[in-house]
Amino acid sequence: MGVKRSLQCGGTMLGFLATSFIILSTVSNYWIRYSGGHSGLWLECNEDICYNISCDSMLAATGACMTLVAGCGIMGLVMGLRILFNEGYSRCQTTCAVFFISGLLLLIALTVYTVNTSWKDDAFYSWSYFLGWLALPFSILAGFCFLLADMIMQSTDAISGFPVCL
């Protein structure tokens, strides 16, 4: 397996991890824990009784961004799998851009949530929140893997016309 193929495989695996973490983080209700309960983006639970969170614009923006991030992650993962299993399909630049956009949206969502909830004294961030932050470097690294694989493909195409074998 060449360097290009290894980068494509690594980018796909990192994209799978990032997308898995993003989906788990988005659907779970353990973003914040406090005495007597926990809350997420969609539900708040007190003493094992869960109810919908009232409409807060910052929380809605976080939820919308996280949903877009999950969609971008799934789209990037499908594109990465197509690149990996179909040698003729070489859209590494597009896949790279999708993972970078996913990382940017994830950074925006988590920053907005952090700013919105940092004033709570008795609340502590929980595993769903940290999974979101853990997905950020995986998404960015997946984008870099596809970027480097594309650079290798472009340099190989550029020197293929020369009579010298490198």
Residue 109 has pLDDT above 80, yes or no: yes
Q: Which two tokens stand for residue 104?
A: 């940017």
What is the predicted pLDDT for the residue at 159?
A: 62
Domains of the chain: which residue ranges?
10-28+56-157
Cα(88)–Cα(103) distance, integer angstroms: 27
Mean pLDDT, rounded, for 63-77 = 93
Average pLDDT, the chain: 86
* Residue among 143, 73, 69, 144 nearest 113 (CA): 69
Cα(11)–Cα(145) distance, integer angstroms: 5
Q: What is the pLDDT of residues 28-66, one digit of tens each?
A: 988 888 888 888 888 888 887 888 877 778 888 888 999
Cα(79)–Cα(48) distance, integer angstroms: 40
